[in-house]
């Protein structure tokens, strides 16, 4: 994919958004894309190829939102970004009209999405030329929906929950597994090796261990429930 972007736009700057999305995890990819809003330069083209239905009749989309382009299959991966901007526009990509053809039915990222992204970034194709206006955009169940729980574990072993920072007013501690963990301002608010609940950089409740791994120390992972404890 990187090579095919560069064939279309030799001066492109290529950045990996992250390497933490497990195969097929549309909800987590949609979350990370939403979290990238306002963190990249205007005009950035995001290629979001979590695409378990590659090669079928599923549509491909190009979304214009937050002054960036977001390209991927219409399976929910772009749903959070699209819904987050009141003025978002979406187009169904007409690859044939753009002269793009897939040589494989299992990797449209390489054959179709990457060349399109390169052309968009180079200004060689404009948004309205991508294809017809899309009537609707698929939205997958949000990673953040449902009961309070761990929704992903990052590379540090931090347990990221779906509890928004706003829900923490008056909360002094959270219960997770067999532990009660105090709320703190920073990872270092507790002694090294001790657990702490912080507001993280996604503005979500996160259970961490100071200079350690909460996943390892607490034996918790995705879907572990969390409970908020108000002032006692």
Residues at the interface with its own copies (CB under 8 A): 2-4, 6-7, 10-16, 23-24, 36, 39-41, 44, 52-56, 103-107, 110-111, 155-157, 185-188, 192, 198-201, 203, 206, 210-213
Minimum gap (Å) between residue 3 Cβ and its own copies: 4
Task: Give the Cα separation of 143 and 185 in Å (integer).
Answer: 24
Q: Are the beta carbons of 132 and 91 closer than 8 angstroms?
A: yes
Minimum gap (Å) between residue 186 Cβ and its own copies: 3
Residue closer to its own copies, measured from CB, 48 or 91: 48
- CB atoms under 10 Å from CB of 151, counted, come to 23
Minimum gap (Å) between residue 187 Cβ and its own copies: 6
- Token output for 13: 């700057």
DSSP assigned state of 166: G
Task: Give the Cα separation of 38 and 232 in Å (integer).
Answer: 39
- Token output for 148: 């309070």
Minimum gap (Å) between residue 163 Cβ and its own copies: 15
Residue closer to its own copies, measured from CB, 126 or 155: 155
Residue closer to its own copies, measured from CB, 101 or 128: 101
Task: Give the Cα separation of 28 and 25 in Å (integer).
Answer: 6
Residue closer to its own copies, measured from CB, 189 or 227: 189
């Amino acid at each position: 994919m990187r090579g095919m972007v560069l064939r279309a736009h030799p001066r492109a700057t290529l950045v990996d958004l992250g390497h933490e999305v497990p195969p097929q995890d549309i909800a987590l990819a949609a979350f990370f894309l939403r979290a990238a809003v306002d963190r990249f330069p205007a005009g950035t083209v995001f290629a979001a190829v979590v695409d378990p239905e590659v090669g079928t009749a599923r549509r491909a989309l190009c979304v214009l939102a937050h002054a960036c382009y977001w390209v991927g299959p219409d399976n929910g991966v772009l749903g959070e970004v699209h819904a987050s901007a009141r003025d978002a526009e979406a187009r169904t990509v007409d690859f044939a009209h753009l002269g793009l053809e897939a040589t494989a039915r299992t990797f449209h990222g390489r054959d179709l999405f990457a060349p399109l992204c390169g052309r968009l970034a180079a200004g060689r194709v404009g948004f309205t030329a991508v294809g017809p206006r899309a009537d609707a955009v698929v939205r997958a169940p949000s990673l953040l929906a449902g009961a309070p729980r761990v929704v992903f574990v990052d590379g540090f072993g931090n347990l990221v929950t779906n509890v928004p920072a706003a829900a923490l007013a008056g909360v002094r501690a959270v219960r997770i597994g067999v532990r009660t963990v105090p709320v703190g301002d920073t990872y270092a608010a507790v002694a090294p090796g001790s657990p702490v609940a912080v507001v993280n950089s996604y503005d979500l409740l996160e259970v961490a261990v100071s200079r350690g791994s909460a996943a390892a120390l607490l034996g918790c992972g995705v879907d572990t429930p969390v409970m908020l404890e108000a002032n006692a």
